Structure 1
Amino acid sequence: MKKVGLLTRLIIGLALGIIIGYISKEFLQFDFFVRLLATFNGIFGGFLGYVIPLIIIGFVAPGIAELGKGAGRLLGITTLLAYVSTIIAGTFAFLVGTGVLPKIVSAVGGHASNPEEALVAGFFQVDMPPIMGVMTALITAFLFGLGMAAIKNKSLYQVTKDFQEIIEKVIQNVIIPLLPIHIAGIFANMTYAGEVARIMKIFGSVFAIVILCHVVIIVLQYTIAGTATGRNPFTALKNMIPAYLTAIGTQSSAATIPVTLRSAKKNGISDGVADFAIPLCATIHLSGSTITLTMCAMAVMMMSGASTSFGLLFPFILMLGVTMVAAPGVPGGAVMAALGLLQSMLGFTEAQLGLMIALYLTQDSFGTACNVTGDGAIALLADKFAKGSAPVAGTSTVGGEV
């Protein structure tokens, strides 16, 4: 029997949540089932808050250390190109969101003064304070990552890799399986509070805008790469279509690497550079995911009436570009890696984090496809700058968006 995919389970959870909330409000006229789900959400949200610093340390530290292990000009060039591409994508998403999202939010009834006040509370709460704050975890992860790269000692690196494996199993075996119930609880509560119709309208509009932004940024990436390398950008983009379609199906940059490599080599990229740059970019280049995270974050903030100024969002985008290096290799890995930044830099509550996860995962396949297609443009530029230099031996990838 074929296993039901995460997206399908999330959609089922979302639909069941709306049904439970509607029946509880319109027919049963009592909130027992909604409060039951709200109790689960409180416990799950507390656990998620506890795990966020561990996710940051478990993935960012070894991710930075592994990047530092590679030597040579090609590694630096490819990493810089990937980071700049990610920041451009996030900034582009911010500019589009600033121009379009306020009109969408206003068209569906504006924002509530404090929508969380209308939500039903759980029967009880379980406090799960994290062992450290998010910013402390980020600083610790950078310190350990850079330190491990500097001392070139494998002992601590192996410990962090083992810790990373533990956290990845927590995500795969606990967080991901329980997400549909969490989403059901969020939408049951919002339906009971009368907020769900407005939110669903915004969801649909944000989804369409995100996909259009993906297309625009891919065309921009290949226009720049084609101009710099003297290749026809549209021919190069056409050659990458198999990788794009494969990524939509697999929802995994890593699983798409063989197809991405074959497509990239059709564009005349040397075997050595392609064999190095494509697997590396599958880990560190997540322009599509950054577009989605930026746009969805802005939508969630606007729904609650929060400020979305450039001064607030641009530092978030800069940090997001670094954090994406450590996106866990599981479905929705990018949003998992970004939860700490959403909480610490943008002040997201547990309910907003849940909405963010739901928004992101509904289009995760398209974000991954954008990431993968953009990898080919980065490889084109790396091939131009490398001038035929050999790839860095022994460099492997960690994490990566799936």
Structure 2
Amino acid sequence: MRKLIQTWNSWSLVTRIIIGMVLGVILALAAPDTLSWISIFGMLFVDALKAVAPILVLFLVLHAIAKQQSGQKTNMKSVIILYGIATFSAAFIAVLASFLFPVTLSLQTGAEGFEPPGGVNEVLETVLFNIVDNPISALMNANYIGILTWAVLLGLALRKASDATKSTLNSFADAVTKVVRWIINLAPIGILGLVFDAIATNGLEALLEYGQLLLVLLGCMFFIALIVNPLIVFIAVRKNPYPLVFQALRESGITAFFTRSSAANIPVNMNLCEKLGLNKDTYSVSIPLGATINMSGAAITISVLTLAAVNTLGIEVDFATAFILSVLAAVSACGASGVAGGSLLLIPLASSLFGIPNDIAMQVVGVGFVIGVLQDSCETALNSSSDVVFTATADMMQRKADGEAI
């Protein structure tokens, strides 16, 4: 048994995850009812990631700020600019695609029990209140804006602390990082459970009715992931972007696809950034921040589904209004929560730009939940892998500016 475990651990994590995916598909097709208990592994894996992520973010950011010397360089300005360019580009591409391939919907499904925000002011107000949230509440509710705020403030306050105190913070950060590695090592079993549950519970039959909508949505997401994001990276560093892009999709995108939560994927992205040798002072902040504001996939979902509602109702849209929708979708996407389905509840907000009634917009949200097994999974994979791509890009930009090899 020990030899078997050693052999298993000697394989790469991606190989083991693929094996878990294949086993999940086979078992779900062979005995979905008899083996229903397998799905618990997926739930435990996701919950474990969600549980460790807030503590990881708090200690890594707190320690990074506390030990930072005056004048020490970080790449956060570049990261935030890249996040903004990517999110707006995604919204704009989605609008163009919706004009080229207009989609209409059969609005029969509701989304009862969900309350969308009332306007952009409400979205921004929520963000501001999250910033000043109670630290214990922020940790309990995985409010990463609040966690980042408190970590930065405490880190600044502890800059003058003794070396012993900073050493203790470092020990806590290392300990939490080690726990994260243990959890990530269980990813193949967790992915097996998630794949089993997705196939045994949902199937793909419900998606057939919305084939054209899915083609536009997923087509935009793949275009952003494989064309636009690499183009942004190439313009920034003048280097072949695809090795980085493919590694991020492989090692971050796959787990994000199945967990369907940018927040749950924070530990995975932190681990990948460490593997890539990136600046810890940067990625300890940029990764949790990206899980909150870097939402290219969410911008695509908001734009495409909103314009699908517009087409269904026969509303004429000029290009100027569509451009405003791109800006609104990009801003709104930054307010989407880092959990499954967070972007869908912002569709009524974007729909209000065209005077679409809330009850109609919530039916579109209902359609979003029906196709969520693919839409939300691909959206999260794009969002989360992009966090690593642009953090690494900012790191390469800094090293290039310093005259180092990249």
TM-score by length of 2: 0.55
Q: Give the alignment of 1:247-286 within 5 angstroms.
A: 247-286=256-295
How far did residue 305 of structure 1 move?
A: 0.9
| 1:225 to 2:226 alignment | no
Distance in structure 2 (CA, Å) of the matches to 1:213 and 1:133: 27
**Which residue of structure 2 aligns with residue 303 of structure 1?**
312
Pair 1:317–1:77, CA change in 2 (3 A): same
**Which residue of structure 1 aligns with residue 212 of structure 2?**
205
Distance in structure 2 (CA, Å) of the matches to 1:284 and 1:330: 13
3-state SS of the aligned residue for 1:326?
coil
**Superimposed CA distance per residue, residues 140-198 of structure 1 (whole angstroms, 9 cap, x where no aligned partner):** 557x56xx97xxxxxx6439967x9599xxxxxxxxxxxxxxxxxxxxxxxxxxxxxxx
3-state SS of the aligned residue for 2:340?
coil
Distance in structure 2 (CA, Å) of the matches to 1:245 and 1:277: 20
In 1, are the aligned partners of 2:294 and 2:334 still within 8 Å (CA)? yes
Q: Give the alignment of 1:5-44 within 5 angstroms.
A: none
Pair 1:312–1:281, CA change in 2 (3 A): same
> How large is the Cα RMSD of the aligned pairs?
4.4
**Which residue of structure 1 aligns with residue 100 of structure 2?**
99
**Which residue of structure 2 aligns with residue 84 of structure 1?**
85
Distance in structure 2 (CA, Å) of the matches to 1:262 and 1:321: 28
| 1:314 to 2:315 alignment | no
How far did residue 227 of structure 1 move?
A: 4.5
Distance in structure 1 (CA, Å) of the matches to 2:357 and 2:229: 31
**Which residue of structure 1 aligns with residue 119 of structure 2?**
134
Distance in structure 2 (CA, Å) of the matches to 1:267 and 1:221: 18
Q: Give the alignment of 1:101-120 within 5 angstroms.
A: 101=102, 105=104
**Which residue of structure 2 aligns with residue 216 of structure 1?**
223
In 1, are the aligned partners of 2:237 and 2:397 still within 8 Å (CA)? no
Q: For structure 1, which runs of at least 5 residues remain unmatched after alignment?
A: 6-69, 106-110, 121-128, 150-155, 168-198, 390-402
More moved, 261-270 vs 78-87: 261-270
In 1, are the aligned partners of 2:347 and 2:361 still within 8 Å (CA)? no
3-state SS of the aligned residue for 1:253?
coil
**Superimposed CA distance per residue, residues 235-279 of structure 1 (whole angstroms, 9 cap, x where no aligned partner):** 112211121111111111122223323434555533333333222
Distance in structure 2 (CA, Å) of the matches to 1:311 and 1:159: 42
Pair 1:320–1:376, CA change in 2 (3 A): same
Distance in structure 2 (CA, Å) of the matches to 1:333 and 1:374: 17
**Which residue of structure 2 aligns with residue 158 of structure 1?**
134
Letter in 1 for 2:230: Y
Pair 1:343–1:385, CA change in 2 (3 A): same
Letter in 1 for 2:268: V
Distance in structure 1 (CA, Å) of the matches to 2:281 and 2:136: 30
Pair 1:160–1:314, CA change in 2 (3 A): farther
Distance in structure 2 (CA, Å) of the matches to 1:136 and 1:287: 21
Pair 1:77–1:235, CA change in 2 (3 A): closer
Distance in structure 1 (CA, Å) of the matches to 2:142 and 2:235: 45
In 1, are the aligned partners of 2:75 and 2:398 still within 8 Å (CA)? yes
Pair 1:205–1:264, CA change in 2 (3 A): farther
Q: Give the alignment of 1:50-89 within 5 angstroms.
A: 74-89=75-90
Letter in 1 for 2:214: F
Distance in structure 2 (CA, Å) of the matches to 1:166 and 1:382: 26
Letter in 1 for 2:233: A
**Which residue of structure 1 aligns with residue 253 of structure 2?**
244
Distance in structure 2 (CA, Å) of the matches to 1:133 and 1:211: 28
Pair 1:160–1:243, CA change in 2 (3 A): closer
In 1, are the aligned partners of 2:254 and 2:381 still within 8 Å (CA)? yes
Pair 1:340–1:4, CA change in 2 (3 A): farther
| 1:341 to 2:317 alignment | no
Distance in structure 2 (CA, Å) of the matches to 1:294 and 1:161: 32
In 2, are the aligned partners of 1:287 and 1:371 still within 8 Å (CA)? yes
Identity %: 22
In 2, are the aligned partners of 1:247 and 1:256 still within 8 Å (CA)? yes
Pair 1:279–1:159, CA change in 2 (3 A): closer
Distance in structure 1 (CA, Å) of the matches to 2:40 and 2:214: 22
| 1:352 to 2:337 alignment | no
Distance in structure 1 (CA, Å) of the matches to 2:99 and 2:330: 20
In 1, are the aligned partners of 2:296 and 2:333 still within 8 Å (CA)? no
Pair 1:311–1:259, CA change in 2 (3 A): same
Pair 1:342–1:3, CA change in 2 (3 A): farther
Pair 1:97–1:275, CA change in 2 (3 A): same
Pair 1:266–1:231, CA change in 2 (3 A): farther
In 1, are the aligned partners of 2:348 and 2:362 still within 8 Å (CA)? no
How far did residue 353 of structure 1 move?
A: 1.9
| 1:364 to 2:364 alignment | no
| Count of residues in correspondence between the two structures | 271
Pair 1:138–1:224, CA change in 2 (3 A): closer
| 1:377 to 2:389 alignment | yes
